[in-house]
Amino acid sequence: MDQSLSSDLLPAADEAITDAGSAAPAPRSFLDRLFDRGLLIRTGVDGLYGRSGAFESVVEALDRLVSRIGGADGAEALRFPPGMARSSFERSGYLKGFPHLAGTVHSFCGNEADHARLLACLDAGEDWTAKQAATDIVLTPAACYPLYPVAAARGRLPEGGLLFDLQSYCFRHEPSLEPTRMQLFRMREYVRMGTPEQVLAFRELWLERGTKMMSDLGLPLAIDPANDPFFGRAGKMLANNQRAQALKFELNVPVNSEDKPTACLSFNYHQDHFGTTWGIHQADGSVAHTACVGFGLERITLALLRHHGLDLDAWPADVRAQLFG
Ligand code: ATP
Ligand code: ZN
Ligand code: MG
């Protein structure tokens, strides 16, 4: 991580921790300071971290805050484990757009001789994974992915459409030294299915609510048009198209730097993509449109730590009241 990034941002409400004894103290990166405080815990893999109790208390408080804001809408809460059926994953189209981010679960499928070879490889420091084979499970890439086949299996939507409340650990193979880009992180979502008007109204509502929520938490923000990181040359066209049609917006907060703010919430209109892919139909038989709002729970936590400091007890009273009150 660029060391200059930690200093070009606002009063970090937290003094830089310096290397004891060195003549010119080197500024610690934001990630290092999170490790120093034990808020995140190293595992040896970039983007794969343990979290302290204090960090988790913020994640849980944010989850509750989102529930309070969306609570009166009558969303149906569903929770899936962080893996989904490989068959559903294949059908979802994720591999067309994002083969580089996907994570699959493999397991040992050999016999005793293979087992002996595996242990020998391990001892010799060689690749022991040859006898690993794909299981029926892949890691969930976004909290809403396991939902669509379930919704489709229920038959036509009711007149008013449907609204779901989801939260899941998600996996994306995007190792990074930016603490905000993890490989395993939690995404809270609301997903709306119905007519184009219904799902666009839902997205408008959450653009307003998300903006209010984050500014009430004392975070500087901007809403910007965005695109997903589609793979390859064909992906460039998909990304341009997504922007041209204003299908994705992000709520960005400077966390790692002012120049490259971090998407903490995203607001996605899928048009009839998932409706067509999964055969989700409205009450009148036409293909359903869908939209989702996603909250990156670790990212919002990190944004709060960046702007209010690494000591939760020293956060502004009104911010603490909203989260822990
Ligand atoms: P980015 O452009 O930064 O990669 P994204 O467009 O991939 O973000 P979405 O796919 O819309 O993000 O995911 C929904 C939310 O999940 C994001 O708004 C963000 O808060 C969070 N998120 C996405 N990727 C990560 C990650 N690697 N680590 C932590 N949180 C993430
Ligand atoms: Zn989604
Ligand atoms: Mg991404």
Alpha-carbon distance of 155 to 93, in angstroms, equals 21
**215 and 249 together in one domain:** yes
| H or E element, residue 189 | strand 184-194
**134 and 149 together in one domain:** no
Query: Under DSSP, is residue 94 helix (H, G, I), strand (E, B) or coil?
Result: helix
Kindly report, residue by residue over 51-84, the tens digit of the pLDDT. 999 999 999 999 999 999 999 999 999 999 999 9
**153 and 224 together in one domain:** yes
* Ligand 1: residue whose CA is nearest its atom 26: 181
* Ligand 1: residue whose CA is nearest its atom 30: 296
What does pTM read for this prediction? 0.93
**123 and 243 together in one domain:** no
Distance of CA 148 from the midpoint of ligand 2 (Å)? 10
Kindly report, residue by residue over 11-49, the tens digit of the pLDDT. 444 443 344 555 677 789 999 999 999 999 999 999 999
Q: Are 166 and 147 in contact (CB under 8 A)?
A: yes
Tokens of residue 273, six digits: 């993509």
298 lines ligand 1 (CB under 6 A): yes
Domains contained in the chain, number: 2
The one-digit pLDDT tens for each residue of the chain (325 residues) are 343 344 445 444 444 334 455 567 778 999 999 999 999 999 999 999 999 999 999 999 999 999 999 999 999 999 999 999 999 999 999 999 999 999 999 999 999 999 999 999 999 999 999 889 999 999 999 999 999 999 999 999 999 999 999 999 999 999 999 999 999 999 999 999 999 999 999 999 999 999 999 999 999 999 999 998 899 998 999 999 999 999 999 999 999 999 999 999 999 999 999 999 999 999 999 999 999 999 999 999 999 999 999 999 999 999 999 999 9
**192 and 269 together in one domain:** yes
Alpha-carbon distance of 156 to 310, in angstroms, equals 48
Distances 212 to 30, 62, 215, 248, 250 between C-alpha atoms, Å: 26, 14, 5, 19, 14
Alpha-carbon distance of 46 to 208, in angstroms, equals 34
Whole-complex ipTM: 0.98
Closest ligand, as measured to the CA of 262: 1
**113 and 260 together in one domain:** no
**Is residue 12 domain-resident?**
no
The amino acid at 242: Q
**Is residue 77 domain-resident?**
yes
Distance of CA 159 from the midpoint of ligand 1 (Å)? 32
**241 and 281 together in one domain:** yes
Q: Are 269 and 248 in contact (CB under 8 A)?
A: yes
**121 and 168 together in one domain:** no
| H or E element, residue 162 | strand 162-171
**Is residue 175 domain-resident?**
yes
| Domain endpoint, select from 87, 118, 139 | 139
Q: Which domain holds residue 135?
A: 109-139
**Is residue 18 domain-resident?**
no
Alpha-carbon distance of 41 to 52, in angstroms, equals 7
Alpha-carbon distance of 207 to 62, in angstroms, equals 17
Q: Locate the ligand 1 atom nearest the alpha carbon of residue 227 and give its number.
A: 6
Residue 103 φ/ψ region, left for φ over 0, alpha for ψ in the -120 to 50 degree band, beta for the rest: beta
Alpha-carbon distance of 3 to 297, in angstroms, equals 25
Distance of CA 296 from the midpoint of ligand 1 (Å)? 6
Degrees to nearest 5, angle at CA 151 with 209 and 146: 80
